[in-house]
Amino acid sequence: MKIKGLTALVTGANRGLGRTFVQALRDAGCTKIYAAARTIEGAAGDVVVEPVQLDITKIEQVSTAATRCHDVNILINNAGVARFVPALGAPTMDDARLEIETNYLGTLAMCRAFAPVLKRNGGGALVNMLSVVSFFNAPTQGSYCASKAAEWSLTKAVRFELRAQGTLVIGVYAGYIDTDMTAGLMAPKSSPADIAARVLEGIASGTEDILADERSHAVFSELRKDDRAFDANMQKIWDSRQDSH
């Protein structure tokens, strides 16, 4: 798919990876980019980039966006939240609910609303920004991992349903990315620019699953060999954390 001349919508576009996606799409020649975010106060629009206020957990806002952004060819579902809490050790279920409502249900709402838009515009591409933890559960962020596993399964479901209308459905998998979301984590991180570049390459080449960094390649390879050994290592990490408390 040639990106030049197309219209794109990016959710979570006001910072981090979302903002990088907007710039990458501009550089690739998109003629219009809807930069969607919950907060757009102070966001500057121009002839190419049009700010759109959108909270993907609000069905009425999603519906309004689909009507307004009726010319979209590329949808990048980038908006997401991560609370980095364990499934049982979190003080309440509030974080788990937020992660499911945003990462899974919010993404589902966007897919449902924009599938007809993409169909009318020739099929296009739908990109879900997932995570390497879609493949496994890291217990210190257990509920986030569960929400991303659900989003991974959702991506497959959407792919099955939209193949007949010619929509390319892409899942993107990456480890930690150097954004505000991971600012407090001391771990190797990929640059947002590298991730965005690989995603645009995947759109252009028609790749359905993009392992966007070294971490995703390594994890995927290890899990294919022996997922039980991988989970055993996750157990050790969790146990060592418990022993230190």
Which amino acid, 154?
A: L
Give 243's pLDDT tier (boundaries 50, 70, 90): low
CB atoms within 10 A of CB 11: 28
Chain centroid to Cα 15, Å, comes to 14
Give 242's pLDDT tier (boundaries 50, 70, 90): low
Q: What is residue 179's predicted lDDT score, i.e. its pLDDT?
A: 75
Nearest C-alpha neighbor of 83 from the set 29, 138, 35: 138
Q: 131-134: which pairs have CB atoms within 8 A and are 24 or more residues apart? A: 131/173, 131/174, 131/175, 132/173, 132/174, 132/175, 132/215, 132/216, 132/219, 132/220, 134/171, 134/173
The domain locations on the chain are 7-243
Q: What is residue 41's predicted lDDT score, i.e. its pLDDT?
A: 77
Q: What is the pLDDT of residues 142-196, one digit of tens each?
A: 999 999 999 999 999 999 999 999 999 999 999 999 977 766 766 778 899 999 9
Q: Alpha carbon of 213 to those of 16, 118, 166: distances in Å?
A: 17, 28, 27
DSSP string, 171-228: EEE-S-BSSGGGTT--S--B-HHHHHHHHHHHHHHT-SEEE-SHHHHHHHHHHHH-HH
DSSP string, 60-112: HHHHHHHHHTTT-SEEEE---------TTTSSSSHHHHHHIIIIIIIHHHHHH
Q: Is the confidence at residue 133, as pLDDT, over 80?
A: yes
The superfamily in CATH containing domain 7-243 is: NAD(P)-binding Rossmann-like Domain (3.40.50.720)
The encoded tokens of residue 144 equal: 């986030």
